[in-house]
Amino acid sequence: MSDTRRLREFETWIAWARLGGVVFAVLEVGVFTQHFPPGYLEAAWALTAVFAAGTVLLLWFARSERTQQLLRATGLAAVVFDTLVIGAYGVVFSYEYGNQTRFALVFVVIEAALRYGVAGGIVLPILLIPYFWLVEWWRVREFSPPGPGFLSDRISFPSGLLLLSGLIIGWLVRRLDIEARTGRERAAEAERLRDTLGRRVDVLEAANRSARALGSSLEMDQAFGAFIREVKALVAFERLAIVLIEDGEARVIAAAGRGSETVFAPGSARAASGSVLDQVLGGQTVYRRDMSDLRYPEEHALLELGLHSRLVAPLLVGARAVGMISFVRAEPSAFSPDEVELVSLLGRLVATAVQNIRAYESERQTVEELRRLSALRADFVSLVSHELRSPMAAVIGAARTLQQRWRSLTPEQREAFLALIADETNRLAALIGDVLDTSRIDAGTFSYTFADVDLGRLVEDTVTTASMGQDEVRVRADVTGTVPPVRGDRERLRQVVTNLIDNAIKYSPSGDEVEVSVRPDNGSVRITVTDHGPGIPQDQQRLIFEKFGRAEVAGSSKPGTGLGLFIARSIAEAHGGSLEVRSRPAAGTAFVLTLPLDR
């Protein structure tokens, strides 16, 4: 309720009470008082007429539409009017010794205290002291004798009584005003809290919608696309970006708004050092009210897009920051404190979603890897079974033939069968050796004996052995200059080079050439085995170095277990080196073994 309305209601209530006073005055003058001194009856009726006229006028003022200032002026006039009327009645009835009419002034004091509080309850009784003296003086002058002489207690007693009454009523009014003001303040605070709570409920509902959008898909692009569409209704922005920290780089995984396709586009990365991420990764929300002072290097590009204020919150998983979410607007100082708090909450929601999606991706990759390894193992079992069955069948067949037909066979035929048994036995031994080596590598028990190794001599010996073992493909060694010795296990390194040469011979056309070169190269020695075979597809070049991994070469189906290159790379890495492949389909293959000199 407004102050003006309350003041009008108060004035109206006082006016109706005053109208009751008029009725009482008429009864008192016309009915209850029998004897008036000469001239006093006429004065009483005249005073009652004035009282009635003033009462009607004040009632009209109180009920009409007036401003607050006019109502206050009317209230002051009413206090003066009531004081004068009751005071005049006190003078008229002063002819009666002991008449209590002057005590009706207590109503005026109460009225003043109701209107003006303690001040009204004190000031008006003090101003009435001369009036009480005047009434007592008038009584003594006009009607004594027979009445007593001038009595001072007829001044002090009513003055003191009215003063105490004014103090009590004024204090009560003051307390009432304080309580009313406190109530209004509490009501206003309750309304503010209700509005704040309503806004927070709306924000939480919007945040929940954003969280549901993040959880709508386990594909990162789809999840963040849905999140960005939902968050537009929650926090307005000209540009939004979600950035993750990966290997010291700030990688943008989602962006929307102004310049999102050209400036820090999704998938792009840049150094995190020196950027706002340095501060955000400490768990702080950063609010750049105006980026014109260029505190961070990336802000120059944002300013060129016409963007000035920036709000950046960390993506927190527990107490660890994994990235940031950035809202940017064109106007400086464009974000409110509520938005700062909300963006911090969104940062936690996005971090949780990133964690879930990453966990899902990791689990999915693990499952796919396990499926792939399971398929490789199944292929390996099938392949090894075939690889074992073929030489075993040849050995058994040759042995039975020798056993059954030894006497009928010529010496040359016996030698051929014995050579076949030896070759197939060696093939079995090599197969079993690869399986055992793989098992030892997995168990960490693959042993090495390190010494100085002359790689030039090792390559020449290995090439000679490979050339003597077959005559379809020519193998040539190219040792350039003086090759420094390396620290390594000679037999393990020979195993690597032999495997590479055997693979090159296996996939080279008949009559072709395999080149094995050895060269020092910037603190290391590089051995390159090059063939001109069918080559290896790009998508299978990682596969060939894994256990049981074999490339699918078009037009070529060669036997093998898929363990040789896995063992070769493991030996190279144990020497602190590496084994890489360079190949293109139909353009040959080059395997490069690099070994450090300072090991």
Residue range 573-597, pLDDT digits in tens: 888 888 988 887 777 888 899 988 8
Give pLDDT, residue 432: 74
Residue 253 scores a pLDDT above 70? yes
**190-199, 436-445, 499-508, 529-538: which has the minimum mean pLDDT?**
436-445
The Cα–Cα gap between 414 and 406 comes to 7
Contact 301, 264 (CB under 8 A): yes
For residue 502, being part of any structural domain is answered with: yes
Residue 388 scores a pLDDT above 80? no
Characterise 589 by phi-psi region: left (phi > 0), alpha (psi -120 to 50), beta (else): beta
For residue 214, being part of any structural domain is answered with: no
Tokens of 252: 């943008």
Residue 31 scores a pLDDT above 80? yes
Residue 196 scores a pLDDT above 60? yes
Q: Residue 490 corresponds to which amino acid?
A: R
Beta bridge partners of residue 323, listed in sequence order = 244, 315
Say whether 170 sits in a helix, a strand or coil: helix
320 versus 127: the higher-pLDDT residue is: 127
Q: Which residues contact 61 (CB under 8 A, 6 or more apart)?
A: 11, 70, 74
Tokens of 568: 């070769």
pLDDT digits (tens, 9 = 90+) for 206-245: 667 766 766 666 666 667 777 777 777 677 788 888 888 8
345 shares its domain with 420? no
| Residue that terminates a domain, selected from 162, 187, 212 | 187
Length of the chain in residues, anyone? 599
Give pLDDT, residue 478: 85
Least Cα distance to 456 among 424, 420, 486 occurs for 486
Total domain count, the chain: 4
Contact 99, 36 (CB under 8 A): no
CB atoms within 10 A of CB 417: 20
* Residue 237 lies in domain: 220-363
The Cα–Cα gap between 172 and 159 comes to 20
Q: Kindly state the percentage of the chain with pLDDT values over 70.
A: 89
For residue 202, being part of any structural domain is answered with: no
177 shares its domain with 291? no
H helix or E strand, kind and range, residue 48: helix 40-63
The Cα–Cα gap between 322 and 277 comes to 10
243 shares its domain with 336? yes
Give pLDDT, residue 316: 79
The Cα–Cα gap between 455 and 526 comes to 10
Least Cα distance to 577 among 598, 547, 549 occurs for 598
Q: How sure is the predictor about 49, in pLDDT bands with cuts at 50, 70 and 90?
A: very high
433 shares its domain with 461? no
Give pLDDT, residue 2: 66
Report whether the peptide linkage leading into residue 158 is cis, meaning its omega lies within 30 degrees of zero.
no
Residue 165 scores a pLDDT above 60? yes
551 shares its domain with 591? yes
Give pLDDT, residue 50: 92
512 alpha-carbon distance from chain centroid = 64
Q: How sure is the predictor about 53, in pLDDT bands with cuts at 50, 70 and 90?
A: very high
For residue 203, being part of any structural domain is answered with: no
The Cα–Cα gap between 155 and 161 comes to 10
For residue 369, being part of any structural domain is answered with: no
Give pLDDT, residue 554: 54
For residue 500, being part of any structural domain is answered with: yes
The CATH number of residue 304's host domain is 3.30.450.40
The Cα–Cα gap between 332 and 347 comes to 22
The average pLDDT across 99-119 equals: 85
The Cα–Cα gap between 136 and 316 comes to 88
H helix or E strand, kind and range, residue 352: helix 337-405
In terms of Cβ atoms closer than 10 Å to its own Cβ (0-12, 13-18, 19+), residue 282 is exposed
Least Cα distance to 114 among 78, 85, 88, 156 occurs for 78
H helix or E strand, kind and range, residue 130: helix 129-143
Task: Of 404-408, 434-438, 475-479, give the range with the top mean pLDDT.
Answer: 475-479
Report whether the peptide linkage leading into residue 145 is cis, meaning its omega lies within 30 degrees of zero.
yes
Exposure of 29 in the CB half-sphere (CA atoms within 13 A): 20
For residue 290, being part of any structural domain is answered with: yes
**Distance from the first to the final alpha carbon of the chain:** 91
pLDDT digits (tens, 9 = 90+) for 519-572: 888 888 888 999 888 888 887 778 777 776 666 665 555 666 677 888 888 888
137 shares its domain with 18? yes
Q: Residue 53 corresponds to which amino acid?
A: A
Rg, C-alpha atoms of the chain: 55
405 shares its domain with 286? no
Residue showing tokens 């399986």: 435
Q: What is the mean pLDDT of the chain?
A: 81
Report whether the peptide linkage leading into residue 314 is cis, meaning its omega lies within 30 degrees of zero.
no
Task: Of 161-175, 203-217, 416-430, 548-562, give the range with the top mean pLDDT.
Answer: 161-175
The Cα–Cα gap between 104 and 114 comes to 16
Q: Which residues of 20-54 are buried (b: 16+ CB within 10 A; e: fewer)?
A: ebbeebeeebeeebeebeeebeebbeebbeebbeb
Contact 459, 479 (CB under 8 A): yes
The average pLDDT across 454-479 equals: 84
H helix or E strand, kind and range, residue 151: none
The CATH number of residue 555's host domain is 3.30.565.10
Q: How sure is the predictor about 18, in pLDDT bands with cuts at 50, 70 and 90?
A: confident
17 shares its domain with 151? yes
Backbone angles phi, psi at 595, to 5 degrees: -125, 135
37 shares its domain with 172? yes
H helix or E strand, kind and range, residue 136: helix 129-143
Tokens of 531: 């063939």
Q: Which residues contact 430 (CB under 8 A, 6 or more apart)?
A: none
Query: Dihedral sign, CA of 41, 42, 47, 49?
Result: positive
33 shares its domain with 175? yes
Tokens of 339: 């938005």
What 8-state DSSP symbol labels residue 281?
A: T
167 shares its domain with 122? yes
What 8-state DSSP symbol labels residue 473?
A: S
For residue 536, being part of any structural domain is answered with: yes
The Cα–Cα gap between 492 and 316 comes to 49
What 8-state DSSP symbol labels residue 589?
A: E
Task: Of 130-139, 217-226, 259-268, 364-373, give the range with the top mean pLDDT.
Answer: 130-139
471 shares its domain with 568? yes
CB atoms within 10 A of CB 215: 16
